[in-house]
Amino acid sequence: MAENAGFISVPWGQHKLGAMYNTPFPSISRPKCIGVCSINASREFVDDASCASYLAGQPWPPLPFDLNGGIEDVIRKPVENGKRDLEIMLTYIKQHQKELLRQSSSDARNLRLDSDFVTLRGILRQIMCLQYDNRSFRVKATLLNGNVYMCKEETPEQQLENANMSRAQRVMCSWGFKFEQYLTSAQAQGKPVTNVPVNEAEEFMGVYRTNLAGILMLYGAELDCVDSKEPVDFKDCRVLDSLKFVELKTSVFNMNPHQIRTFKSFKSANWWSQSFLVGITTLYVGLRDTKGMLQRIDEIDVATLARNKPWSASAMAWYLEQFLRNLKKLLVNINDPFAVVQVTFLNKHASYEVLRGPEHQILPNWYRDLLKTRS
């Protein structure tokens, strides 16, 4: 029987920035997109591709262009807890239960997924980068019918950081959304529409499967746009798996030495892992000055991000694999479908606490009912 509190073993010391790391990359299948959905302006789940965007046909708007356009009228994404992101995935599973759910081999009265983990790409990315990051991070997980469901939870440090975010910081966050507006269109080969406020609440999400060293994962990932000259039938799974999605990023034009070090040690690792987890091979990076004027657009091959960097892509993948494997082992030992394990990464430790009670649940009752589980 597992303790109600303790530590999860993760390889914090396996690699230090700049050191050699010779362990080969763990086996991993190519991430496969099995479906898509949208989150509309009201933050409601929509089982279609209505929020999808296409990479706009070139030539793009002439440079430089102003990322501050319409900044006062931006429609910002409301503050939500991590359970809400997971619930979007659960709603997708409900809508596609015929394809995704099957009888549990251990109890025919219950249904389960062909996955060890159900989560979000952003959580996997952050876990991969944790060994190089001193900031705190927290997840909650529960085991139901053999599947681990995992969402994020804000730490006190993150809550304080978000509460104290300055207007200038919020504006810089909005620059990234405005850059997306300049480079995307609602139609294939369409032109960008940049004279309307950016709606940061809308999302287009892909649902992916992959196998990391025997750990099967099902996760959602927000996608910026698809690079296609023809309209896409997002309902066709064969088409989905062959699409070329691209990521759009903004960064600093003419970086100073500190910014260059930060990019090489941290930001490039985040960009690489985010793209790697969904099989994206191309980034378009808008380089902007301190006033939000975009000066240049670079096309970057994602594979080059991992070259000649102080971090190790292999170490990041092994860190994720070890954490997921040991987290599931802990949950299996706890053997309680209503127990929630809260894991806090802080000061090079991954401490856990077992939480019980309705106030701690991360799975809504309707989802438990869907899987025929009763308390």
**Helices first, then strands: H and E counts in the chain:** 11, 19
Question: Is position 126 annotated in a ligand binding site?
Answer: no
Q: Is 247 annotated as a binding residue?
A: yes
Q: How far apart are CA 251 and CA 264, in angstroms?
A: 13
Which pLDDT score is estimated for 42? Answer: 92
* DSSP-assigned letter for residue 77: P
Say which DSSP state 76 is in.
P
180 is in an annotated binding site: yes
274 is in an annotated binding site: yes
For residues 218-245, b (16+ Cβ closer than 10 Å) or e, as one string?
bbbbbbbbbeeeeebebeeeeebeebeb
Q: Give pTM, 2 decimals.
A: 0.96
Longest dimension (CA), the chain: 64
CA 90, CA 6: separation in Å to the nearest integer? 29
Q: Which residues of the chain have pLDDT under 50?
A: 373-375
Three-state DSSP class for residue 158 = helix
Instruction: Enumerate the H helices of the chain as residue ranges.
Output: 82-95, 97-100, 121-129, 156-163, 167-183, 237-240, 257-262, 268-276, 302-305, 313-334, 365-370
DSSP code for 363: S
Number of residues written out for the chain: 375
The answer on whether 154 is annotated among ligand-binding residues is no
Q: DSSP secondary-structure letter at 302?
A: H
Q: What is the pLDDT of residue 375?
A: 44
Asked whether residue 286 is marked as a ligand-binding residue, the answer is no
Q: What is the pLDDT of residue 106?
A: 76
Is 249 annotated to bind a ligand? Reply is yes
Would the annotation count 224 as a binding residue?
yes
Contacts for 302-307: CB closer than 8 Å, 24+ residues apart: 302/247, 302/271, 302/272, 302/275, 302/276, 305/268, 305/271, 305/272, 305/275, 306/268, 306/272
Instruction: Note the pLDDT of residue 1.
Output: 64
Instruction: State pLDDT tens for residues 322-358.
Output: 999 999 999 999 999 999 999 999 999 999 999 999 9
- pLDDT at residue 57, rounded to an integer: 85
Q: Was 248 annotated as part of a binding site?
A: yes
In 3D space, the residue among 242, 243, 260 whose CA is nearest the CA of residue 251 turns out to be: 260
Instruction: In whole angstroms, give the CA distance from residue 142 to residue 357.
Output: 13
pLDDT at 287: 98
